[in-house]
Structure formats: C-alpha cells, structure tokens
C-alpha cells in the first residue's frame, strides 16, 4: 500500500475545529451576558453537529495513523497520540452539547488531554523530532492550553444552566441574588395611619415600584470565558501557520 500523507488534512481539521469552537464560545458568552439561557442552549445544540462530525473524522484518521502510518521513527506516535485524544474530546463534547448534558465532564477530559498535548509538544521540541520543532510546540501548546481552560469554562456554563430563574450571577446594589424582586408594599402598608374599618382610606395604596436587581456577569466570569475564547483563537492561528508551512510539501509530494 502506498504511503498517503494525511498531515495537512489533519491540520485542516484542527483549524476548522478551532474556528467552530471559538465561534460557539463567543456566541455563548454573549448569550450569557444577555441572560438568555434558550439562546445559549440553541447555540450549543447547533454546534454539536459540526463538532461531532469533526470528532468522528479526527478519531478515524487518528486510529488509522496509530496502526498504519509508515512514518520513520516515532513520528506517528508524536502526531497521532494527541490527535486521537483531540478527536475523542470533540466527540464527547458534541454528545454532551446535543443531549443537554453537563459539560464539565467533557471539560475534565479536555483538561487531561490538554496537559498530555503540552507534554508531547515539549518532548517533541526537546528531541528535535520535526523540521519545525518550535512551531510544533506552539501548536501543541496552544491546543493544550485551550483544553485546560475548557474545564473552568464548562463549569461556568453548567452553573448557569443550573439556575434557570436567572439568579446564577445576578447581583444588585445591596440586593441578594436570591431575592431579585423586593416588594415595598408591606413596608408602605406598615407606615399607614390607623383608620376606621370601612373607610375609603382602607383601600390598598397605589402600588410602589419594586426594586429590581439588574443582571450582569461578574468580572471573573467574563475573564474566564474570554480567556478560553482567546486561547481557542490562538490555537486556530497556530494551526493556520502550521498548515501554511506544510501545505506546499504536502501538495508536491506524490504518494
């Protein structure tokens, strides 16, 4: 069987995955800022199809590469070990998103896979196993960092969905998040003078406007989600540059 170089195709899948995950992460962040749980749920379910499709493709290519990729030395191990973990992460994430399951378990898987990816990238850099050791390490490091940051991001989303009444991160000046609507009616009635029963004055007073706590995301939530989106963007940029450095050789080298 002739050797088929699938490295460039794998890099393309990395780039597409970074773009899709980064986009849904940004859309989800904006939905949370608007306190829009249905919008966030819709974004996650919609992204499950492309993410799951990529996950199946990546996992299939990685399994094939683990057994059949005839690259010299341990290059197939360096590339396909972490690529397989990446594919499994995408599949698990897509299933969790489509089924409205807790995302933190997919995030935990991504956390471990991300750490392994950074370790592989550092080992490949130290052993000078590729023609672009620094670029390889940056690629592995960027995706590994994204995997690590995915865990706190998924914890935030799970916590948000666990409070469908909108009180997950609701704060107001001196108002408890669990009491977003504080009525002043009782206090107003207590201050009324005593009047004879049956008098017209016994009618309820005009309703007093309620104190309403405005919804906003705490700064640490903003930072957590935006750092995750930024890390995905950096991973996509790293994949793009890595693809640019290998695409010419891929297209001109016949099997």
More confident of the two residues 70 and 155: 155
Whole-structure pTM value:
0.77
The CATH class given to the 9-170+212-252 domain equals: mainly alpha
What is the percent of the chain with per-residue pLDDT over 70, rounded to a whole number? 72
Strand-pair partners of 175: 172
Q: Is the pLDDT of residue 70 over 80?
A: no
159-188 per-position pLDDT tens digit = 998 887 666 666 543 344 444 444 434 444
* Mean per-residue pLDDT of the chain: 80
Domain ranges of the chain: 9-170+212-252
Distance CA 49, CA 173 (A): 42
Residue, of 150 and 134, whose pLDDT is higher:
150
Higher pLDDT pick, 7 / 161: 161
């Amino acid at each position: 069987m002739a050797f088929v170089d699938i490295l460039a195709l794998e890099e393309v899948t990395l780039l597409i995955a970074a773009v899709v995950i980064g986009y849904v992460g940004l859309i989800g962040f904006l939905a949370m800022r608007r306190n829009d749980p249905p919008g966030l749920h819709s974004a996650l379910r919609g992204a499950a199809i492309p993410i799951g499709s990529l996950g199946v493709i990546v996992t299939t290519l990685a399994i094939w590469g683990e057994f059949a990729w005839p690259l010299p030395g341990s290059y197939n191990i360096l590339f396909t070990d972490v690529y397989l973990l990446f594919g499994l992460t995408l599949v698990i994430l897509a299933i969790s998103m489509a089924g409205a399951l807790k995302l933190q378990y997919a995030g935990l898987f991504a956390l471990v896979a991300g750490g392994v990816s950074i370790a592989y990238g550092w080992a490949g850099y130290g052993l000078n196993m590729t023609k672009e050791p620094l670029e390889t390490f940056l690629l592995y490091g960027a995706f590994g960092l994204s995997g690590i940051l995915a865990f706190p991001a998924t914890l935030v989303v799970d916590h948000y969905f666990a409070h469908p009444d909108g009180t997950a991160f609701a704060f107001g000046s001196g108002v408890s998040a669990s009491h977003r609507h504080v009525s002043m009616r009782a206090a107003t009635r207590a201050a009324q003078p005593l009047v004879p029963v049956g008098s017209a004055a016994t009618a309820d007073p005009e309703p007093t406007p309620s104190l309403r706590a405005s919804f906003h995301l705490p700064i640490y939530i903003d930072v957590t989600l935006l750092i995750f989106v930024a890390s995905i963007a950096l991973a996509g940029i790293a994949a793009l540059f890595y693809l640019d450095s290998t695409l010419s050789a891929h297209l001109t080298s016949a099997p």
